[in-house]
Amino acid sequence: MAGVDGGIMFPADKLRGWTQEVFQKIGVSRDDATLLTDSLIEANLRGVDTHGITRMLCVYVERIRKGVMSAKSKLVVVREKASTALIDCNNSIGQVGAARAMRMAIEKAGQTGVAFTAVTHSNHYGMAAYWAMAALTHGMIGFSSTNAPAAVAPTGGCTAMFGTNPFAIAIPAGRELPVVLDLATTVVARGRIVLHAKQDKPLAPGWAFDHRGIPTTDPHTAMKGLLAPIGGYKGYGIALAVDFLCGVVLTGSNYGTHFPGFLADNMIDPTDVGSVFAAVNVESFMDLPEFTATIDKALQEIKGSTRAEGVKRIYVPGEIEFDMKAERLAKGIPIPEQVVKDFIALGRELAIPFPET
């Protein structure tokens, strides 16, 4: 989980309203600000604070104000077929490109059964699940993946060549909550290593390598080293495939070692990531009511299967996040004190006061 525990609680709607105003103030159109804000707040609601306003708002604002990311949307469809599209994002906001690409994938899949779209020269697009989930209300299975600056070495290597390269798959259900799988191809996120380093707590074996590619459980050594991919060479292979699909192959964006640093530590060059999106129309394979009923049954079987000792509940992918959303809609979104201070300062600067709790 990429969530925060402590902090001051704010109602989602207050954060939403303020965030939208902030983006509009720095030149983002009303529609784009609404879209971008929704993707960030949804991440916070689902407990994925690393992709919510908590970590992303100030970074995005700085990039836009410094002109490293374009406030204005400049999307151009450069190639298009009945079931595919390539969109040049021209350094527009990642979420704006992603929304267009996912919308095109859904429309095309409605016609032809399946569609696969890609954006090039794009930016950080937020939480991968947000885009996959857009397919759900259309009775479709959604997919999305993006590449990212390098943090993972190939098996046997010690140069970071691949990002955490996440992918998400969303599958609609009936009475049950939909399946929403969203995972980075590393065992843990870098944020987890940072947290352990702050607390001087050893890492679990298998999380990270030092800068020479040797496994380490020392969080400080790991901070200067590499993240371990899931399943060793298997995760390396998945990360490579994502990088090739999103970066090299289909979009002509950055890949491998060619990224100009991470989001927050390079405020000069565009990130230039590539992302891919897909939608599969369920009705092309099975009638939707039969499909959702079978998914419900399969989910109930998994959730009702024998639990290991001491385990209270078996979760299916996305369930923890849906629970979290219900809780945060009721109790508010926690914003750590330091981040609240940053938001108050930003609000003052832009003359859009950050709301009281």
Site for a copy of itself in 252-271 (CB under 8 A): 252, 255-257
Q: Tell me which stretch binds a copy of itself (CB under 8 A): 88-96, 284-292, 322-330, 338-346.
A: 284-292
Whichever of 19 and 164 has its CB closer to a copy of itself, that residue is 164
User: Contact between 112 and a copy of itself (CB under 8 A)?
Assistant: yes
Q: Does 79 bind a copy of itself (CB under 8 A)?
A: yes
Task: Round to whole Å and give the CA distance between 343 and 18.
Answer: 10
Interface pick for a copy of itself out of 9, 195, 264, 314 (rule CB under 8 A)? 314
**For residues 111 and 357, which CB has a smaller minimum distance to a copy of itself in the complex?**
111
Nearer to a copy of itself, 183 or 197 (CB): 183
State the DSSP H helix or E strand holding residue 146, giving kind and residue range, or none if neither: strand 140-146
The interface with a copy of itself within residues 197-216 (CB under 8 A) comprises: 205-206, 212-214
DSSP state of 244: I
| 307 in contact with a copy of itself (CB under 8 A) | yes
- The C-alpha atoms of residue 185 and residue 142 are separated, in whole angstroms, by 18
User: SS3 of 119, please?
Assistant: strand
Q: Do the beta carbons of residue 278 and residue 108 sit within 8 Å?
A: no
CA gap 298, 313 in Å, rounded: 16
User: For residue 215, what are the β-bridge partners?
Assistant: 209
Is the Cβ–Cβ distance between 97 and 87 less than 8 Å?
yes
The distance of closest approach from Cβ of residue 185 to a copy of itself in the complex, given in angstroms and rounded to an integer, is 8
* CB 268, min distance to a copy of itself, A: 23
246 binds a copy of itself (CB under 8 A): no
Residues 13-72 touching a copy of itself, rule: CB under 8 A, are none
Q: What is the rounded distance in angstroms from the CA atom of residue 231 to the CA atom of residue 237?
A: 10
If 0-12 CB within 10 Å is exposed, 13-18 middle and 19+ buried, where does residue 252 land? middle
Binding segment for a copy of itself among 7-15, 21-29, 286-294, 340-348 (CB under 8 A)? 286-294
Shortest Cβ distance from residue 64 to a copy of itself (Å)?
A: 28
The verdict on 356 binding a copy of itself (CB under 8 A) reads no
Tokens of 175: 């009475």
Report the residue from 94, 97, 126, 154 that binds a copy of itself according to the rule CB under 8 A: 154
Site string for a copy of itself, 166-195 (x = CB under 8 A): ---x-x-------x-x-x---x--------
Q: Establish if 137 lies at the interface with a copy of itself (CB under 8 A).
A: no
Whole-angstrom distance, CA of residue 241 vs CA of residue 307: 34
Listed residue (145, 138, 127) closest to 171, CA to CA: 138
Nearest to 86 by CA among 252, 243, 242: 252
> CB of 180: closest distance to a copy of itself in angstroms?
9
